[in-house]
């Protein structure tokens, strides 16, 4: 039964120990799991904040990029608008020039009603006394010796053709190659031609006269300026009274009427029909080509005007803030098409109603877009404010933690200072107690000496013997105390050094017994060795731990018995004052 009881007790003890271990393990596991859960929650919160910041930064960057893209598109559209305007101006000027050419060609068409229009060479023209030849225009007109009657000519000839048919040269190069001919360009009248005149001919502008013997003996690159005239809105359809072509047309029409009434012009007109038809066909072909060119130019102008209007509308929408995203643009482009289809199918009243409804829808869309923008801006502001609050809370927590740490450090420093002060006070009290004991011993010695002197000279020898015995007894007692307190200092007793150092200490403290006997000095040295150990003079070589042991009263480190000479003393961090170190400032 005894063994069974012991076994059962041991089993119970083991169970109890296992339970305790299980509890301890459970506590440790709980603490570890709680710490990990806290760490995970902190990490998750940090990750959330980082993700929020990243999302905010990306959103701001995307908005900036979108704004820059829209600005770039706006700038490109503005530049394209300027280019379109320039192209329109050029096309309008080109159209005006072509129309002017058509007008001039129509004026050159010969009419059988004119007397002189049936002649196409200078020789044939000048055989008729009522006709004269315009060499620059290459045309036969009615005139006499004084000049043409209905048309003004720069170079007019009557009855004689000037030169050797220089007017037959069609180009400047072929004209100048003949030394008897010169090429004339009159920009004021928009005419050019070859004339038989000398090199110093003054009937043509100086800049427009080219002759082989003159300074201007080479043909220019641009022989004739392009005539471009800008018309007002109604100037093209108005015919001024001073227009010579218009006057010629009216006079020829009147002559045709008169000839028809009088029965003239039958045989003569039939002779010149062939040449007239050829000339008229040539001019008509040129006019057709120019009219086709006019149509092409007008189409280009229409397309440019459409592009111009589209760009202007887009820029207006962009400036008003109505330009949306790509989907909204497509919807806005589809809506006008639907509106046109519905307007074609329904009456005007229904179309107006639908327009009003669509306007309302557009306004609602605008309002919704503005509200969405405001909501987004408010959300961004809220997020920014929350982030600021979180940062401020974190800063406050950090500041509180720093303050707590500072307070704890200050409390620790105060405690250390109090402990050091208590240790110093204890050491001072011990030193004062030892001093009092020394003074009492000295007083007892003085009293004994006085009694011995009073007893007489006969008893001097006995007293000396007693003194020596007392000295021996005192020495034995001091040695016992020294062995108890400072066993490790027996080998380091140096009478001379200790005597000098103790005498200097006595002088600074103001001791009264400086001139005592040499035997008494030996006793004083032994007693002072009890009060101040030799390690007192070797403190500069001690480490920090030894200083702490010294202040705490533990003198076991002196058992190392290190002998240090005066030459080997090193005072690294302590200043020597009066040849020894006094940490407690007793003197």
* pTM of the predicted model as reported, rounded to 2 decimal places: 0.28
pLDDT of residue 315: 85
> Domain ends where: 403, 421, 439?
421
Q: Is residue 505 part of a domain?
A: yes
Joined tokens for residue 473: 């007894």
> Domain ends where: 421, 441, 474?
421
Number of domains in the chain: 2
Who's near 275: CB < 8 A, 6+ residues apart? 118, 120
Q: Is residue 333 part of a domain?
A: no
- Asked if residues 97 and 341 have their Cβ atoms less than 8 Å apart, the reply is no
> Domain ends where: 421, 452, 467?
421
Joined tokens for residue 360: 């309302």
- Is residue 405 domain-shared with residue 494, that is, in the same domain? no
Burial (CB count <10 Å: 0-12, 13-18, 19+), residue 488: middle
Q: Is residue 93 part of a domain?
A: no
Q: Residue 117: how many CB atoms within 10 A of its CB?
A: 23
- Asked if residues 332 and 323 have their Cβ atoms less than 8 Å apart, the reply is no
Q: Is residue 437 part of a domain?
A: no
Spatial distance between the Cα atoms of 577 and 579, rounded to a whole number of angstroms:
6
- Asked if residues 500 and 525 have their Cβ atoms less than 8 Å apart, the reply is no
Q: Is residue 515 part of a domain?
A: yes
Q: Is residue 331 part of a domain?
A: no
Q: pLDDT by residue for the chain (587 residues), tens digit each?
A: 567 788 888 888 888 888 888 888 888 888 888 888 888 988 988 898 899 889 888 988 998 898 888 888 888 888 988 998 888 888 888 888 888 888 877 776 655 556 787 777 777 888 888 898 887 676 788 888 888 887 777 778 888 776 556 767 788 888 888 777 888 887 776 677 888 788 888 878 888 889 888 888 888 864 433 333 333 333 333 333 334 444 455 555 555 545 544 444 443 444 445 555 666 677 778 888 888 888 898 899 889 888 888 888 888 888 886 545 444 545 545 555 565 556 556 566 666 777 788 788 888 888 888 888 888 888 888 888 888 888 888 888 889 989 888 899 999 899 988 988 888 888 888 888 888 888 888 888 888 888 877 765 555 455 555 555 555 555 554 555 555 555 545 444 444 444 455 555 545 555 445 455 545 555 555 554 455 555 555 544 444 555 566 656 665 555 544 444 444 444 444 444 444 455 555 55
- Asked if residues 391 and 546 have their Cβ atoms less than 8 Å apart, the reply is no
- Is residue 410 domain-shared with residue 496, that is, in the same domain? no
- Asked if residues 114 and 252 have their Cβ atoms less than 8 Å apart, the reply is yes
Query: Residue 550 belongs to what domain range?
Result: 488-587
Give tens-digit pLDDT for 298-322. Answer: 899 889 888 888 888 888 888 886 5
Q: Is residue 353 part of a domain?
A: no
Q: Is residue 470 part of a domain?
A: no
């Amino acid at each position: 039964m005894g063994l069974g009881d012991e076994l059962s007790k041991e089993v119970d003890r083991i169970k109890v120990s296992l339970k305790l271990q299980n509890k301890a393990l459970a506590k440790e596991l709980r603490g570890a799991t709680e710490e990990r859960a806290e760490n995970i929650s902190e990490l998750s919160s940090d990750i959330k904040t980082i993700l929020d910041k990243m999302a905010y930064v990306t959103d701001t960057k995307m908005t900036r990029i979108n704004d820059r893209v829209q600005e770039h598109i706006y700038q490109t559209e503005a530049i394209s608008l300027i280019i379109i305007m320039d192209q329109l101006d050029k096309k309008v000027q080109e159209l005006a020039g072509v129309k002017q050419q058509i007008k001039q060609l129509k004026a050159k068409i010969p009419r059988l009603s004119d007397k002189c229009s049936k002649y196409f060479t200078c020789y044939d023209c000048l055989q008729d006394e009522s006709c004269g030849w315009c060499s620059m225009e290459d045309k036969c007109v009615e005139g006499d010796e004084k000049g043409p009657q209905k048309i003004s000519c720069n170079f007019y000839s009557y009855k004689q053709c000037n030169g050797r048919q220089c007017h037959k040269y069609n180009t400047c190069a072929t004209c100048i190659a003949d030394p008897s001919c010169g090429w004339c360009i009159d920009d004021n009248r928009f005419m050019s031609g070859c004339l038989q005149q000398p090199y110093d001919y003054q009937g043509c502008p100086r800049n427009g006269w080219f002759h082989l013997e003159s300074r201007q003996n080479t043909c220019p690159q641009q022989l004739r300026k392009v005539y471009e005239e800008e018309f007002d809105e109604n100037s093209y359809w108005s015919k001024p009274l001073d227009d010579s072509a218009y006057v010629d047309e009216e006079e020829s029409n009147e002559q045709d009427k008169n000839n028809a009434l009088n029965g003239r012009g039958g045989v003569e007109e039939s002779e010149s029909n062939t040449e007239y038809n050829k000339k008229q066909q040539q001019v008509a072909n040129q006019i057709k080509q120019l009219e086709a060119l006019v149509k092409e130019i007008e189409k280009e102008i229409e397309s440019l005007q459409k592009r111009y209007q589209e760009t202007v509308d887009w820029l207006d929408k962009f400036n008003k803030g109505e330009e949306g995203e790509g989907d909204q643009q497509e919807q806005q482009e589809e809506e006008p098409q639907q509106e046109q289809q519905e307007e074609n199918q329904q009456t005007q009243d229904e179309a107006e109603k639908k327009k009003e409804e669509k306007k309302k829808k557009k306004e609602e869309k605008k309002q919704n877009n503005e509200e969405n923008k405001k909501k987004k801006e408010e959300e961004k502001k809220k997020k920014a404010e929350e982030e600021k609050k979180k940062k401020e809370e974190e800063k406050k927590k950090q500041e509180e933690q720093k303050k707590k740490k500072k307070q704890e450090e200050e409390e620790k420093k105060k405690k250390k200072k109090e402990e050091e002060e208590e240790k110093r006070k204890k050491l001072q009290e011990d030193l004062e107690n030892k001093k009092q004991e020394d003074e009492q011993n000295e007083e007892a010695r003085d009293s004994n000496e006085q009694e011995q002197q009073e007893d007489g000279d006969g008893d001097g020898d006995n007293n000396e013997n007693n003194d020596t015995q007392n000295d021996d007894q005192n020495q034995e007692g001091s040695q016992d105390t020294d062995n108890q307190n400072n066993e490790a200092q027996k080998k380091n007793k140096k009478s001379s050094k200790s005597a000098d150092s103790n005498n200097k200490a006595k002088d600074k403290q103001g001791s009264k017994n400086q001139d005592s006997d040499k035997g008494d000095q030996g006793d004083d040295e032994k007693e002072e060795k009890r009060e101040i150990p030799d390690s007192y003079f070797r403190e500069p070589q001690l480490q920090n731990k030894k200083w702490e042991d010294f202040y705490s009263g533990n003198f076991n480190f002196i058992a190392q018995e290190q002998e240090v000479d005066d030459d080997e003393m090193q005072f690294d961090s302590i200043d020597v004052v009066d040849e020894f170190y006094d940490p407690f400032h007793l003197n």
